[in-house]
Amino acid sequence: MKIKVKGIGLTKFGELWDKSLLDLALEASIDAIKDSGINKSKIDAVFVGNMLTGKIAGQDHLGPVITSSLGLNAASFRIEGACASGGLAVHLAVQGILAGTYKNILVVGAEKMTDASSNQITWALMGASSSKERKAGLTFPALYALMTQAHMQKYGTTRKQLAQVSVKNHYHASLNKKAQYPYEITTEKVLNSNLISYPITLFDSSPITDGAGAIMLSAETDSKGVFITGSAVASDTIDLSERASLTELKATQIASKKALEQAGVGIKDIKVCEVHDCFTIAEVMAMEDLGVCPAGAGGKFIEKGNTRLNGKCPINTSGGLKACGHPVGATGVKQIIEITEQLRKSAGQRQVKDADIGLTQNVGGTGATVVVHVLQNL
């Protein structure tokens, strides 16, 4: 598999009150088209990753909302897979090119969350859970709190170790002008912030964010650049309680194995990762499920600084979902953009030395959908 990432565009992430969903999607799209050098008349299709707009703004049918604003009559699709909507849109675009149906596809991930109240957002996000979980009064922080408790019970992982995920990601975000929270925080700040759902605090959690990202994918293979060389999706039970284990995401294990095999590389070859740290425990489990460290060793691995910029395996150099922000439908696309920047060596102060192969992991719900991509500079 060799699908070229020919152009990228990313808006600032944050509480962007003066911008609508369409403003954000167009800003990212126009930047990606410009960066690709492709005339927009050559775009065959537009794939839009979005989760919440139908629910909180009453706007469905997002494909043509975006294509028409770009002045295109290209095929257009809206793809929904909870917080993995962006990654799924990228995966489906890759399939569209591999099938030979399209040559150039613009993938847009966009979400406008801050127009709704936090109660509305909490309710809307719970659409990605099971009805049993909703009836029990669970929320996503609570579901990840249950996984945190299970990890602590089984492996002795501590809250202090988990807090290092937030501290490290805020440090990375401090080097990223597009990040929602571009400043550093301390371990004490994480541990002493308000409890959302024990043991998860506010600073263990990713925020509510507006933002958009866009990438131009192309069938062109005759010039050098950044290519997607592995793309896989796996699923698991929608209900967390039905899984054999609460301390791992089986879908991450399956999707990453497939994507790495497609790319012909191993996890040890990966120089930089963007993983789905919606809550601190999620990054720890991602490292373990991807094989970056053994099962149960994630807490100690991050405590030693291995995943910090210039560490053994830098993770979430963008600042991750925690500090760069988490506009849910855009996150999977933003991850591809960050890895592309790293492989192009254009990541500025947060550049990982010798980054030539990178990986992204995008999760929907509590791991009912997981998308993994491998990117290489070839």
Partner 1 sequence: MSSPVTVWRNHKNLRNYLGKKAAVLVWTKIYIAPEGFEHEAPYFVAIVKLEDGRKMPLQMVECEEKDLTPNRKVTLVVRKLGKVGLDKVIEYGVKAKPRS
CA atoms lying within 13 Å on the CB side of residue 74: 25
Find the binder of partner 1 among 42, 68, 136, 183 (CB under 8 A). Answer: 136
Only one of the segments 149-157, 308-316, 325-333, 355-363 lies at the binding site for partner 1 (rule: CB under 8 A); that segment is: 149-157
Nearer to partner 1, 218 or 366 (CB): 366
Nearer to partner 1, 99 or 244 (CB): 244
Q: Is 122 in the site for partner 1 (CB under 8 A)?
A: yes
Nearer to partner 1, 195 or 304 (CB): 195
Q: Could you give the strand order of the β-sheet that contains 75-79, starting from the edge strand earlier in sequence?
A: 75-79, 45-49, 104-111, 211-218, 3-10, 226-235, 369-377, 357-364, 272-274
Only one of the segments 35-43, 119-127, 164-172, 296-304 lies at the binding site for partner 1 (rule: CB under 8 A); that segment is: 119-127
Restricting to residues 59-88, name those near partner 1 by CB under 8 A. Answer: none
Query: Of 151, 172, 276, 326, which is the active-site residue?
Result: 326
Catalytic status, residue 373: no
* Residue ranges in the chain assigned as alpha helix (H): 21-36, 53-56, 62-69, 85-98, 118-125, 131-135, 140-155, 159-173, 187-192, 250-263, 280-290, 298-303, 331-344
Query: Of 83, 278, 293, 324, which is the active-site residue?
Result: 83
Find the binder of partner 1 among 68, 195, 266, 304 (CB under 8 A). Answer: 195
Find the binder of partner 1 among 35, 64, 123, 219 (CB under 8 A). Answer: 123
Round to whole Å and give the CA distance between 298 and 289: 10
**Two tokens at 245?**
């284990």
Q: Is 198 in the site for partner 1 (CB under 8 A)?
A: yes
Q: Is 95 in the site for partner 1 (CB under 8 A)?
A: no
Residue 137 beta carbon to partner 1: minimum distance, rounded to whole angstroms:
4
Q: Which one-letter amino acid corresponds to residue 124?
A: A
Nearer to partner 1, 1 or 150 (CB): 150
Question: Which residues is 372 bridged to in the sheet?
Answer: 232, 361
Round to whole Å and give the CA distance between 138 and 243: 17
Q: Is 236 in the site for partner 1 (CB under 8 A)?
A: no
> Cβ contacts of residue 328 below 8 Å, gap of 6+?
51, 52, 82, 83, 85, 111, 113, 125
Round to whole Å and give the CA distance between 345 and 142: 38
Only one of the segments 136-144, 254-262, 292-300, 312-320 lies at the binding site for partner 1 (rule: CB under 8 A); that segment is: 136-144
Check residue 352 and report its DSSP letter: P
Find the binder of partner 1 among 1, 22, 30, 142 (CB under 8 A). Answer: 142
Check residue 294 and report its DSSP letter: -
Nearer to partner 1, 71 or 137 (CB): 137
Q: Is 192 in the site for partner 1 (CB under 8 A)?
A: no
Residue 205 beta carbon to partner 1: minimum distance, rounded to whole angstroms:
10
Round to whole Å and give the CA distance between 372 and 336: 10
Round to whole Å and give the CA distance between 228 and 345: 16
Q: Is 196 in the site for partner 1 (CB under 8 A)?
A: yes
Neighbours of 18 (CB within 10 A): 5
Catalytic status, residue 273: no
Only one of the segments 57-65, 138-146, 216-224, 253-261 lies at the binding site for partner 1 (rule: CB under 8 A); that segment is: 138-146
Nearer to partner 1, 118 or 346 (CB): 118
How do beta strands 3-10 and 226-235 pair? antiparallel
Q: Is 116 in the site for partner 1 (CB under 8 A)?
A: no
Q: Which residues are catalytic?
A: 83, 326
Q: Which residues are at the interface with partner 1 (CB under 8 A)?
A: 118-120, 122-123, 126, 132-139, 141-142, 145-146, 149-150, 153, 194-200, 239-242, 246
